[in-house]
Structure formats: structure tokens, C-alpha cells
Amino acid sequence: MPMQLNRRDVMRAMVSGAVSLAFAQGTFAQHGPPPGKIALRFNENPYGPSASALKAAAKALEMGAYYPISITDDLLNAISTKNGVALENMVLSSGSNEALQAAFVAWGKKGKVLLPALTYTDHIAYSIRMGVELVTVPLAKDMSIDLEAMAAAVDDGVSLVYICNPNNPTGMALDGDLLRHFCRTVGKKATVIIDEAYNELTDEPDYTSMIDLVREDENVVVMRTFSKIFGMAGLRVGYGMARPDLASIISGHVMAWPNGPGLAAAYASYNDDEFIRFSRAKVIEGRNMVNETFRKNGIEPLPSQANFVYADIGRNATLFQKRMNERDILIRGSFELYPNYSRVSMGKLEDLETFDRVFTEVYNS
């Protein structure tokens, strides 16, 4: 007797067939680098997400009809346990950028935000549109963040101080004890945000991090992201750790919720030590390769502890970017105030071998 199919069976078969056809015909929207291009421009980690993250995200898609409440709790518990802080110290956001924007807007109501003249800025344009007033301090002569000058610039009108460590785009990390002294001193006048997006890639992650100051209830906020070492830039999960009153202020200004697949991937990979070691090793190997490319062409790069390298190439970096793009290598153009400095992000090792050849040819042509 032939099997009877109900309407749900028919619809499921139709959907399954449509998905299979879409895969076969390649009808999904393009995601990632343009075809044929090597992307070394956005400080992404092409070795992630990990296998455990991909498996968890795929399973979470099946539950996409529901709000991700339980996985949110699981992730926050995992992060708080690993870092020795309470859940009240935690902030979760759609990428660390969302929490940074929230903090800038919240403290911007009270006063000015102080930051280095050259640093990460993707959250700043939004803050300016929201009426936040910024004060910038030039870098030191060696291109490091000038902590002494920044401390001197903190007056009664400054409510928040932002430091990215390691800094973007220089890749340079501040000495941990010097930064701790700065945070304790400046924290008596203004809240200090330490953006640790690249912390896991530093030579001494524990020494470089200011999480111990959070545990000591200092006036400090530490921001982290799953976009870098975990290779999840497209999945948009970030978090912050701070004194409960500070965490509450930031959470109260966060507008977006992280997505379920992203949270599931983050939870699966957070304690995936094998992948973290693998990812870190690949990034450092790639960083050494880019440093060698610069040096063999007579260029001395800045001492990066991140997943990118920054160097004065002795010519306009934006014009050089265009010439590299013509050869299918996508790098970053110049940053304001430093027109001759070029930033190159890490790609897979085979892509960096191609970069080495193309850079040398273009640079010497």
C-alpha cells in the first residue's frame, strides 16, 4: 500500500529541494572576500570559526524561531567563571563595537571622551552623531599611546577615557604595569575603557589584561570580542567586564541583541583551547611572514602584538592600496594624520605568500 503524505511532508520536501537547488546553483549572496581577491584589510581571522563553533551554530539555526535566552546565560556563566568575576560584572553585546558605542553615548552625557589621536574608530562616528564630544591626544614619538600625556589631559570635563590595547592600527601593546598605574590614577577622575579585542594574541595576555582591576572594583571597563582569535567577525558577539554599576550603565544603553547562532558558536569555542592555540600560532606565523616581507623591502614595521602589521612604506598608503587592489590583494589605505603608513591584516599562510610576491613587485616597480 503506498505511503500517504500529508501537507507538512510535502512542504518539507519542497523546502528541502529548494535549499538543495540553491546550493547547487550557488544562489546564496556573496559573503567574505570578493571572488579571486585576497582580503588582508579588516583584521579578520580566516582560520575561524572553529569546528566546534560551526557545529553549534548549525544546531542553533534549527532553533532560530526562539529567542536565545538559555544560551545567553550559558555563555555569560562561562565567561564570568573563567575570569573570576560575577554575572553582575558582565555585559553582552552584538560585537564589542555595540558595547563601545553604548559606553560612549552613556558617558558622553556626562562629559567628554578622551582617546588617542590614532586608534580604533568604528564606534566613534556613531558616537559623534549622538552628540558625544571627543578630545584626542597625539601618540608618542615611537607611535605608542602616550599615557603620560593622556593622564595630563584628564580634567573635570572628561568623563570617559578610551584605550585600545594592543592599539589598532599600530598593533603596539602597552606595558601591563604602566597601564595598571594609569587606570588606578585616572580612574579617580574618569572611567577608563580598555578595549582588549586582540588580548589573546599578545606576548603575555594575562599581564597585558586589566581584568584584575575589574575584580578589584576599580573604575575600569574591559571590552572583549569573539571577532579576532575566535574568527567570528561575521557572527557578532562581544562582551564587557566591569564593576556592577558600570556594567549596568552600559547594558542600559546597548540596543542590539547578539544572534542565537553567534552565541552558540561563542559558547562552543570559548573554552576550545586546542583551537585557540592553533589560531594563535597561525596568526603569529603569518605576522612574522608580513614583517619579513616589509623588512626585505627596506621597511621596518612597528612591533605588533595583534593580527595585523603597521609600517611606514615611504609613500601614500591609499595610492599603494589601489595598486595592490589591481593585483587582487586587498589591504588598508592610509589613516588620518599618517598618510604613508600601511596596515596589513593576517590571512592564511598561502595568501601571505602571494602577498609577499605581489607586494615586492608593486613596491619596487
**Across 12-40, average pLDDT:** 61
Q: Write the pLDDT tens digit of every residue in 329-363.
A: 999 999 989 999 999 999 999 999 999 999 999 99
- Report the distance separating Cα 225 and Cα 219, nearest Å: 21
Classified by CATH at the fold level, domain 38-49+274-363 comes out as Aspartate Aminotransferase, domain 1 (3.90.1150)
Q: Minimal CA–CA distance to 113: which of 13, 195, 190? A: 190
CATH number of 51-270: 3.40.640.10
Q: Minimal CA–CA distance to 358: which of 34, 40, 31, 32? A: 40
Q: Where are the domains of the chain?
A: 38-49+274-363, 51-270
Confidence check: pLDDT of 157 > 70: yes
- Report the distance separating Cα 297 and Cα 359, nearest Å: 9
Q: Would you place residue 56 in the very low, low, confident or very high pLDDT band (cuts 50, 70, 90)?
A: very high
- Report the distance separating Cα 8 and Cα 56, nearest Å: 27
**Across 151-172, average pLDDT:** 98
Q: What is the pTM of this model?
A: 0.90
Q: Write the pLDDT tens digit of every residue in 266-304.
A: 999 999 999 999 999 999 999 999 999 999 999 999 999
Q: Write the pLDDT tens digit of every residue in 66-119.
A: 999 999 999 999 999 999 999 999 999 999 999 999 999 999 999 999 999 999
Higher pLDDT, 149 or 28: 149
- Report the distance separating Cα 20 and Cα 28, nearest Å: 11
pLDDT of residue 32: 81
Q: Would you place residue 3 in the very low, low, confident or very high pLDDT band (cuts 50, 70, 90)?
A: very low
Q: Write the pLDDT tens digit of every residue in 108-147.
A: 999 999 999 999 998 998 999 999 999 999 999 999 999 9
Confidence check: pLDDT of 175 > 80: yes
pLDDT of residue 165: 98
Q: Would you place residue 196 in the very low, low, confident or very high pLDDT band (cuts 50, 70, 90)?
A: very high
Q: Would you place residue 34 in the very low, low, confident or very high pLDDT band (cuts 50, 70, 90)?
A: confident
pLDDT of residue 257: 82
| Cβ atoms within 10 Å of 129's Cβ, excluding its own | 9
pLDDT of residue 27: 52
Q: Would you place residue 29 in the very low, low, confident or very high pLDDT band (cuts 50, 70, 90)?
A: low
pLDDT of residue 30: 67
Number of H helices, E strands in the chain: 14, 11
